[in-house]
Amino acid sequence: MNFKELNVRPEVVAALDKIQITDATEIQEKVIPLALQGKDVIGISKTGSGKTLAFAIPILEKVLPKKGPQALILAPTRELAEQIKNEIGRFGQRTGLTATAIYGGVGFERQVYDLRQCEIVVATPGRCLDHLRQGNFKVDRIRIAVLDEADKMVSMGFIEDVGVIFGQLPRQRQTLLFGATISLEVEKIKKTQMNDPVTVQAQVHVEEEFLDQFYYDVDQREKFSLLVHLIKTEDPHLAIVFCSSRQNADVITKNLQRQRIDAEAIHGGISQPRRLRIIEDFNRGKPHILVATEVAARGLDIKNVTHVFNYDIPINSEDYVHRVGRTARAGAKGKAISLLCQRDYGLFQAIFDRYRNLKITALEKPQFPRLMFDAGQRRFGSGRGRPFGGDRRGQRRR
């Protein structure tokens, strides 16, 4: 359906037309009519499915200009909060409404001023609580509350803060909750903070029609050399290399740069202004390789990624889906390649056990030159590995 058929106000439809968004995604088509009716909604869908617009449109329809903060959106990371604020600014540019983002790592004074001027607040839980406790954020007029990336809130340990914040909001409000999965902790928010919510679900798995998934079995000492070989032979337009820690991301980035590969690291140890700058530059194609921890896997507006490389396999199986969901978006083709060494087998098996329909093809290890790798203080561990996939999938193909 298009947004006119969903009865979206003309000013918002015109703003969407201007940025060439005309047809609703599955999650938007399911959530928007219910939200416009005033119902509490739980939306379950994968990263990149258009959740921001699914809750932004009801907010832009119901919030009034010059009446103070009337909508609160909670996001798990500073980057996502900033992105949501910017997206609402684009969608609602003709409505006269103002959104602000409040998060840690920056000063209070400007945020206090913005809280007095805006109608829509996008916040991380910790800084939102800070402003509430200091009396800077008046929530008595909040009509709509949104919890975005609810499962990420749980994994980052923010869900208790979310409960405290929601407990201070007016009871007579509308609540929208979004995530890729609904955990027991999120169920508690549903039972205590939502009013007879309707649950809708869109496609939550990887669209295999557009995404090709592969893995290589490689010795830990050859991982970096294989990564460089693949980057040079695949020649990605934009690629994200996922690592398990900040230290790994920094080490891999420095070694890629020594190989004259245009790469930058992004993780929680980098200052907020620099992280935003790196994302903006990456979207413009420089650098064309982003080496990231999980901070880049959820929610961030990173477009036109053609390749995802899993240098380290994620500890949480759900993070695999979020990682590979950075590519093959909006009908474009993408490729996800995982590099496995012996210690990764257990984690990779867990991904198969969690997502039984995944099709990840084993590839023969190519011939490639062995490169020098400066690990710094990093130490490579070892452990007992085991084959993955089990009898259900057959033996690994070599």
For 68, counting Cβ atoms within 10 Å of its Cβ (0-12 exposed, 13-18 middle, 19+ buried), the class is middle
Mode of pairing for the β-strands spanning 334-340 and 361-362: unpaired
**Model confidence at 377: pLDDT above 60:** no
Q: What is the pLDDT of residue 297?
A: 61
Query: Residue 133's pLDDT is what?
Result: 96
Q: What is the pTM of this model?
A: 0.70
Among the ranges given (111-115, 168-172, 269-273, 290-294), the one the predictor scored with the smallest mean pLDDT: 269-273
pLDDT value at residue 97: 96
Beta 71-74 vs 144-147: how paired, if at all?
parallel
pLDDT at residue 124 greater than cutoff 90:
yes
pLDDT for 394 equals 39
- The pLDDT > 90 percentage for the chain reads 66
Average pLDDT across the chain, whole number? 88
What are the pLDDT digits (tens) for 126-166?
Answer: 999 999 999 999 999 999 999 999 988 987 889 999 999 99
Name, in order, each residue with C-beta under 8 angstroms of 245's C-beta and a sequence gap of 6 or more.
293, 312
Encoding tokens for residue 292? 């990231």
d(CA 100, CA 115): 7
How many Cβ atoms are within 10 Å of 344's Cβ, its own excluded? Answer: 22
Q: Taking the CA of residue 20 as centre, how many other CA atoms within 13 Å lie in the half-sphere pointing to its CB?
A: 1
| R_g of the chain computed on alpha carbons | 22
55 by DSSP, 3-state: which? helix
What angle, 0 to 180 degrees and rounded to 10, lies between the N-to-C axes of helices 51-62 and 10-18? Answer: 140
